[in-house]
Structure 1
Amino acid sequence: MSERSFRQTPHTSHDGSNSSRLSILLFIFIFIVLCLLARLVYLQVIKGPEFSQAAADSRTLSVNISPHRGTIYDRNGNVLATSVDAMTIYANPKEIEDVSSAAEAVASALGGDADEYAELLKQDTTFVYLKRKADMDAAEALKSEGIVGIYYIEDTKRVYPYGKVAGQVLGFVNVDDEGVSGLELYYDDILKGTPGKLVVQQGGGGIPIPGGTEVDEPAVDGQDIVVSIDIDMQSYLEKRLAEGVSTIEGEDGRAVLMDASTGELLAIASTPYFDPSNPSDSEVGSDSLKTVTQAYEPGSTFKTASMMAMLEAGVVTPDTTIFAPAELSADEYVITDAHERGDMTMTARYVIQDSSNIGTSLLVENYLGFRPLYDKIVSYGLNGQTGIDYPGEAAGYLSPDVDTWPLITKYNVTFGQGISTTPLQMARFYGALVNNGVACTPHFLISKPQIGETLQYDTEQIVENTAAIDPMISMLETVVEEGTGTGAAIDGYRVAGKTGTAEYVDEDTGVYAKSSYNLSFVGVLPDASTPLVCFVGVNEVPYERNTTEVFKDIMTEAISRYRVVQSD
């Protein structure tokens, strides 16, 4: 047998390479699966809500539901501001077949220009407001036309039954029922409530699905409030103030009637008046209650503060005398009294009675000093805010750097020039004189009837030496009996008050106006069953006149209305 020789070829195993390929393929497969899973999680979990919401939004339309705004009542239960039923009207332009006729129908029912409505109905959208808060009668008239593509949402609108009367006090709201000015703004959080949400289901082209409208979030109505205003007294005060401004040919006027024992404001106004039902038709700035929001130089009504400071300090009495020359030099200026006179010696009572600038200045300089006067001005609250619940209260101002005041400023401050305050701050101060030296915070809000809450307000003892009050009241009574304020006298009643004739800065020239003044009178009824205080001021009066007659009439009306009596 022949022997064969065999060549052995080395054997190479394929198990390792196949395994590697399988691992790579498996890894790629798992990676792809994980990517798909991640994408799925991203789309369903992370982006899902967003996509769902977008899909829902394409099928639904959300519209706010206005809550019923709280009613404002006067102190006697009369409705001053309330919300009544109204209708908000909107359209889906994509459904409107005849734009021209639809626009004409809308204009006929709601008023306005048909062309403007046509422009709205031509818009490339599925929602456009035609009229928000339309009157119900107008809305029903349009609804009776049966126009496809026009829809209606129950709403409310704000109404003010007394029109301009107390308009500045109340303020007004915008189309979203948000307070813009006055008490509507100050107490907006109480009055406004919380809007709800109405969801409208839509089909193709944005067409609402019949029966697909539902309330997603119900509106929460606002709370009612009762305020201190007596609307009938307010009406009289406004009428008499406007007449007074016209009679003495002034630019504008301010008045306030307050119960000094509580700080409740019974009536308050400034001209020109404001109609919250038609704010766009009212004069610019008339919505601001300038009796509160605008400071002024008070003039001679401020002499009471200077005299009260001296009486409290015990450095003068009504019989204290001072030599008052006809003219008083101060720096490069010369001070005179309003009425021409010669040199004379005056009692403190006569200084107030005849409203002497020079007498007041020299009494302060010789018996009290200007730093103690400044301190009393601060303690009387005549250069700060009263804390009234009304937006935009102005603060008075007087530089605290008494030691750097020039002499003319020192003298001027004693009789109410070179210092700013507000009519309300003056009324608060005078009110304290018939409230045993206690000043009450002027305010409007009395109660929140739905929750049974009655409001309490801060008081402050601003006259520390109350023994000084009677002499001061006696001096102010002399002003009305024999002095510059005789026009304020009321038969059968004691009236104590002070006239004011103040210079004002002419905006055009930047210096004090010539032959034109800001006139005022502020007075009280001493020892009365209701301690009323009333301020009346008229600005930019072309000649030296007075506002005492207006004060007299307003206070006489109040005496009758509130059956005020005085003790003997």
Structure 2
Amino acid sequence: MKNRTYNRKKILVVFLCAVVILSGLIGRLVYLMIFDAEYYQELAEDLHEREREIKAARGEIVDRNGVVLATNRTVCTISVVHSQIEDPETVISVLSSELSLDEAEVREKVEKVSSMERIETNVDKETGDKIREYDLAGVKVDEDYKRYYPFDDLASRVLGFTGGDNQGIIGLEVKYEDVLKGTNGMILTVTDARGIELEGVAEDRIEPVAGDTLQVSLDYNIQAYCQQAAMNVLEEKQAEAVSILLMNPQNGEIYAMVNVPEFDLNDPFTLNTGEDASSLTDEELQDALNQMWRNRCINDTYEPGSVFKIITASACLEAGTLSLDDTFYCPGYRIVEDRKIRCHKVGGHGQETFVQGIQNSCNPVFMDIGLELGAERFYEYFEKFGLLKLTNIDLPGEAGTIMHRKEDIGTVELATMTFGQSFQVTPIQMAVTVSSIINGGTRVTPHIGAAVLDEEGNTVEKLEYETESDAVSKETSETMQTLLESVVSEGSGKNAYLEGYSIGGKTATSQTLPRSANKYISSFLGFAPADDPQILGMVIIHDPQGVYYGGTIAAPVLRDIYDNVLPYLGIEKN
């Protein structure tokens, strides 16, 4: 009886355990089949579906007149599906031969057990079509797009370029990525458990959507002419670099932005210096490429030199501490505390009015009016004119102004700041600030993007930019127009004079750091017509050899550009 009772208890325990286990399995099965069904259904579909991406055509970039600056070329991507290959040796032989690849490299990819292995991208269409004609089982030839720039190095640092994934890396290509990139499509094929495509089952195809076209304010003809002019002076003066910027001071549209030597947009990873990249470490090569891709007009700062006297004069006129009839005496220097700060004319200019002082670009005159204004008020106008904030140009990597803290501006610092030394700004910052002074007091946002267009060329969106008013009074603006016109017609900017046109401008020559290196930056800023500015230009020559004065070598460059560009823009002679 004891044994029977014991056995019954054992059977009951085993039965209860079995019931619990079976209940758990049934519960788990119900959960998987009902509550988690969608997840496993997706896994099953993934197992039996193979996806191949179809790249969307990237939107074009066109200039203000519709000239195509960036477009696409059809290329192919060559891939292999391991489970579908019937004759691996033939596949290896054909692909290595047609693609000019190492046979061992191709063999490794062909024999690799994977759902799909990419052999080569950006293959020209002719080669892709030739491989397709072999009709090799397991070899896929998909059409793709590669960015193409019809004018090679034109505006290279402005347009930018794309990487292997067709995404923007620098310039407009990255700034307007969302506009240009489009939406990729997809090819879906059904396979069995072994990964072999099922015959008679149609492919599902999701068509790609091309990106929109970006219309920019650049003008191909103006850009090309400015680039040629920059190359001429670069070679003539054996300079390190030359930058030219042309913009509309009334609305901020940029017509040309040149930084020579430019680089080839269709081969952006080859150094434009001719240096052998194989002799560099990976880190050195990347540093060299980053330097080559820099846009000096917005990414780099410099001491503006005497061009900044435009800002100093405007601040003093606004503050009421300066009259055009004020007289000064220039012995060729000023003693400021323990420093002897010289004028560019060693013997001095002698007795002169302020008008003559700005025509002569006399440093002592500007030190006098700046010291009269005082450090605190000078800093306030520096801030009011927008020099302490970014211009917000629609290009990546804009640098900010490098400026003393207000409490650190002593008498010597203030004296040197009045004629554009001891602080640094970007060329685009100088162009925008001077624009606000000569256009009646409106600070514009410089920009290159003008509109977004669809495939038919219809405007999808017109790009708008902010403006700020009351940078200076209308009276100060008109006074500065007159003063700067006299600089060209009678003063240091006479080499920019162009018969039939009233041109205002200011020359500059600044010494780079360290001063002991004896390297200079020569520049000229000019606008026309002087009494109703429609175009403003800057020419900046870095480290010219021989004569380095801005009025001598930079002013003539802008004069020659205006001789062609002003009639082209429909600005008539007066």
* TM-score, with length taken from structure 2: 0.87
Structure 1 equivalent of residue 278 of structure 2 = none
Establish whether residue 406 from structure 1 lines up as the match of residue 410 from structure 2: yes
1:243 Cα shift? 1.4
SS in 1 for 2:75: strand
Structure 1 equivalent of residue 185 of structure 2 = 196
Distance 2:197 2:160 in 1: 38
Structure 1 equivalent of residue 429 of structure 2 = 425
Name which of structure 1's ranges 428-437 and 550-559 shifts more when overlaid on structure 2. Answer: 428-437
Change (3 A) 1:109 1:276: same
SS in 1 for 2:98: helix
The one-character-per-residue Cα deviations of 1:164-212 (angstroms, maximum 9, x if unpaired) are 1122211111222211111110010111122233223334654444455
Distance 1:471 1:229 in 2: 31
SS in 2 for 1:281: coil
Match of 2:387 among 382, 389, 407: 382
CA contact (8 A) 1:254 1:291 kept: yes
Establish whether residue 447 from structure 1 lines up as the match of residue 451 from structure 2: yes
SS in 2 for 1:229: coil
Letter in 1 for 2:515: Y
CA contact (8 A) 2:78 2:128 kept: yes
1:88 Cα shift? 1.6
Name which of structure 1's ranges 425-434 and 175-184 shifts more when overlaid on structure 2. Answer: 425-434
Distance 1:359 1:488 in 2: 23
Structure 2 equivalent of residue 537 of structure 1 = 540
Letter in 2 for 1:302: F
Structure 2 equivalent of residue 120 of structure 1 = 109
CA contact (8 A) 1:271 1:286 kept: no
Distance 1:525 1:223 in 2: 35
Distance 1:482 1:513 in 2: 33
For 1:436-475, what aligned pairs fall within 5 Å after superposition? Answer: 436-450=440-454, 452-475=460-483
Structure 1 equivalent of residue 286 of structure 2 = none
Distance 1:104 1:234 in 2: 48
Structure 2 equivalent of residue 373 of structure 1 = 378
1:113 Cα shift? 4.4
CA contact (8 A) 1:521 1:548 kept: yes
Structure 2 equivalent of residue 6 of structure 1 = none
1:530 Cα shift? 6.4
CA contact (8 A) 1:318 1:471 kept: no
1:537 Cα shift? 0.2
Match of 1:303 among 277, 298, 309: 309
Letter in 2 for 1:521: F
1:361 Cα shift? 0.8
Match of 1:73 among 62, 68, 71: 62
Distance 1:65 1:163 in 2: 27
Structure 1 equivalent of residue 131 of structure 2 = 142
Match of 2:554 among 539, 547, 550: 547
Change (3 A) 1:137 1:381: same
1:425 Cα shift? 1.3
SS in 1 for 2:292: coil
SS in 2 for 1:295: coil
Establish whether residue 264 from structure 1 lines up as the match of residue 272 from structure 2: no
Name which of structure 1's ranges 323-332 and 38-47 shifts more when overlaid on structure 2. Answer: 38-47
Distance 1:493 1:400 in 2: 42
For 1:72-221, what aligned pairs fall within 5 Å after superposition? Answer: 72-93=61-82, 102-203=91-192, 206-210=195-199, 214-215=203-204, 217-221=206-210
Establish whether residue 396 from structure 1 lines up as the match of residue 396 from structure 2: no
1:28 Cα shift? 3.6
SS in 1 for 2:472: coil
1:19 Cα shift? 9.8
Establish whether residue 325 from structure 1 lines up as the match of residue 309 from structure 2: no
1:250 Cα shift? 1.4
SS in 2 for 1:249: coil
SS in 2 for 1:541: coil
SS in 2 for 1:257: strand
Distance 1:129 1:444 in 2: 38
Distance 1:138 1:203 in 2: 31
SS in 1 for 2:303: coil
CA contact (8 A) 2:190 2:201 kept: yes
Q: What is the percentage of aligned positions where both structures have the same residue?
A: 28
Distance 1:162 1:350 in 2: 46
RMSD: 2.9
Establish whether residue 344 from structure 1 lines up as the match of residue 350 from structure 2: yes
1:98 Cα shift? 6.3
CA contact (8 A) 2:167 2:181 kept: yes
CA contact (8 A) 2:375 2:410 kept: no
Structure 2 equivalent of residue 40 of structure 1 = 29
Structure 2 equivalent of residue 7 of structure 1 = none
Match of 1:316 among 314, 319, 322: 322
Distance 1:432 1:481 in 2: 22
Distance 1:97 1:30 in 2: 52
Letter in 1 for 2:381: K
Distance 2:414 2:87 in 1: 78
* Uncovered stretches (5+) of structure 1, i.e. residues with no partner: 1-11, 506-510
SS in 1 for 2:543: strand
Letter in 2 for 1:459: T
